[in-house]
Amino acid sequence: MRTPRDRVPDPGRDPGPGPEPAPRPGRPLLVHGTVEEWARAAESRRSPPHPGDAARLSALRDDRLRRRFLASRLLLRTTLGALADRDPDGIVLTRTALGRPYAPDLPELDFSLSHTGSLLAVAVVRGGRVGVDAERPGRPMSVLEHRMCTPHERSGLDARELRGTARDAELLRLWTLKEAYAKALGTGLRHPPRTIGLDPADPAGRPALPGTLPGTLSTATRTLPDGTVVGVVSASGFERGSSRSADDEPIP
Tell me the DSSP string of 137-164. Answer: S---GGGGHHHH--HHHHHHHHHTT--H
pLDDT for position 188 = 75
The yes-or-no verdict on residue 246 having pLDDT over 90 is: no
Give the whole-angstrom CA distance, residue 187 versus residue 204: 18
pLDDT (average), residues 129-142: 94
Residues 55 and 211: beta-carbon distance below 8 Å: no
Task: Identify whether 251 is part of a domain.
Answer: no
Task: Identify whether 186 is part of a domain.
Answer: yes
pLDDT for position 196 = 94
Domain count, the chain: 1
User: Rounded to two decimals, what is the model's pTM?
Assistant: 0.85
Task: Identify whether 54 is part of a domain.
Answer: yes
Task: Give per-residue pLDDT as tens, 51-75.
Answer: 888 888 888 888 999 999 999 999 9
Task: Identify whether 191 is part of a domain.
Answer: yes
Task: Identify whether 119 is part of a domain.
Answer: yes
Task: Give per-residue pLDDT as tens, 149-196.
Answer: 999 999 999 999 999 999 999 999 999 999 999 999 998 778 899 999
221: which strand partners? Answer: 231
pLDDT for position 16 = 35
Task: Identify whether 2 is part of a domain.
Answer: no
Task: Identify whether 10 is part of a domain.
Answer: no
The yes-or-no verdict on residue 13 having pLDDT over 80 is: no
Domain range for 226: 20-236
pLDDT for position 214 = 84
Q: What CATH number does the domain containing 84 carry?
A: 3.90.470.20
pLDDT for position 18 = 36
Element spanning 89, H or E: none
How many C-beta atoms surround the C-beta of residue 16 within 10 A? 11
